[in-house]
Chain A
């Protein structure tokens, strides 16, 4: 197998495609975010470079490349150099297991539209997400700056805390699909998205990912009022650009993961099955049999764009959460809730299998939503009580 050079070539090309998709995605995500934020805040946003400001990312890149790079005199030089790289690499390689379509035939061979199809795909996501924290921590430490240091410490504490809830919402999807392979998880959502069967799980996943990628309202590691810019205070030029890139690539990747685990991945809506818009649909053009394989990447792209808008929307409308509340929310609310959700899902599936009764299966969303609403009510009551105590 290892001597088959065409296989190597195929892998190489697919990896290049993923990397280029992420790089262009990053560039245009910055533009998308600035335009959308401006829109929400009744501003115009970047509109000078090119039509609708579409060349703005290129202008930014040129600016950042030519900026002077400063290294603090008392910084740990080796780590200061490596920290941006260590931040960047996981944000790219995590995309390797995300499927963006099924397969098509070209040059007499079947080409599958994913880089790696491993049976522990979800665990791979988990492990890469868990080592992504190193870059930020090391950047904070090596800068030899107390603000950067505090930013690094905050991010490590935050990412460890929210990883648990994230992992448990992965578990919920695994239980529903009965597999850890991402392709199986997508196939299992052929009829019904997991976001419909387990809406609370999807919400927990969403909140936990916001904390994992240090986005507002959980962007404590770079809270500018308190820490100037947090862990990347001392970085400039291309090294800063790498951190910036890693953050936005993580956003894209995490939205792709959310789409794969809870929103049907590269598949169409359930009601579009067997129509022209289905990924499986095959049509004939003369003597050619064409499968709609090309719709897979398009569907995934559209889902990612919609989910990214959700992230931007949250950033535009919500204030930053206080740090002790962030920790309390992660440990005292999100973790028990996600445990309960995983338990409800597992119990529902087990009972419906045992008694061969669909009623138990449909109890999953109902019970989960009740538990979710109960949690929200409890948080509300607690906040009221605290406010009354202070008054």
Chain B
């Protein structure tokens, strides 16, 4: 077994365990922290695949910004303890059925269509460091300029909406 495979297996285990921890924990703070750890393991997966930019963006955006806001809101509302009783009783069974379907689907895809589609570029070649970053920027701003701009406008709309919602009405006169 190569060193890389051992590393991958340990990381995969950590990722699965933290995902389960997030689901099963009855304390919202612990759930959020398990999710943070999960994001970090995913970022390390990206690093192993030779995509350092995406790995760092993953940590900065998800673990660093979004989850901090989650924690902030959980603490601010004092909503750490979840109730021990289920609010929606049918939800559990529905989730089990859906999860089963997902597993069957994944298995089908792996076994039946598991052969690689098209050429897979090995990480060493695609991750030629400095150039790959430059190339990504070029692609993003030339080929995908419109989707990129549309996404940013969408985010801007959400931001303006948030500001409008919290804005107090000015007193007349």
Q: Taking beta carbons and an 8 Å cutoff, which residues of A are in contact with B?
A: 2, 79, 118-120, 123-124, 126-131, 133-134, 137-138, 140-141, 149, 152-153, 156-157, 159-160, 163, 179-181, 184
Contact = CB atoms under 8 A, between A and B. Distances in A.
A130 B75 CA distance: 19
Contact of A123 (B57, B68, B75): B57
B72 A156 contact: yes
A117 B33 CA distance: 30
A304 B130 CA distance: 28
Given A134-B68, A156-B71, A180-B133, A126 B56 contact: yes
Nearest to A117: B129
Interface stretch (B12-20, B59-67, B104-112, B165-173): B59-67
Contacts of A149: 75
B133 A120 contact: yes
Contacts of A180: 133
Contacts of B33: 134, 138
B21 interface: no
A2 B52 CA distance: 19
Contact of B59 (A118, A127, A137, A140): A127
B22 interface: no
Contact of B60 (A127, A156, A157, A159): A127
Contacts of A133: 64, 68
A179 B64 CA distance: 23
Interface string B123-139: 00000011011000000
A141 B65 CA distance: 18
B29 A131 contact: no
B3 A181 contact: no
Given A137-B68, A137-B71, A137-B75, A131 B59 contact: yes
Given A120-B52, A131-B36, A137-B68, 19 more contacts: A119-B52, A120-B53, A120-B56, A120-B133, A123-B52, A123-B53, A123-B57, A123-B60, A127-B56, A127-B60, A130-B60, A130-B64, A130-B65, A133-B68, A134-B36, A137-B71, A140-B75, A153-B72, A179-B130
A330 to B, nearest CB: 15
Contacts of B63: 127, 130-131
Interface majority SS on B: helix, strand, loop or mixed? helix
Chain B contact patch, size range = 20 to 34
A138 B80 CA distance: 13
Given A119-B129, A119-B133, A163 B75 contact: no
A130 B56 CA distance: 11
Contacts, number: 74
Ranked 4 nearest A-B pairs via Cβ: A130-B64, A123-B56, A127-B59, A119-B129
Contacts of A127: 56-57, 59-60, 63-64
A141 B70 CA distance: 14
Contacts of B65: 130, 160, 163
Contact of A141 (B29, B60, B69, B133): B29
A253 B60 CA distance: 18
Interface string B47-61: 000001100110110
B130 A119 contact: yes
Interface string B22-52: 0000000100010010000000000000001
A184 B130 CA distance: 11
A123 B72 CA distance: 24
B76 interface: yes
A126 B60 CA distance: 7
A274 B23 CA distance: 62
A259 to B, nearest CB: 22
17 contacts: A123-B56, A124-B56, A126-B60, A126-B64, A127-B60, A130-B60, A130-B65, A134-B68, A137-B68, A137-B71, A137-B72, A140-B75, A141-B29, A141-B75, A153-B75, A159-B68, A181-B130
Contacts of B52: 118-120, 123
B72 A157 contact: yes
Contacts of B129: 119
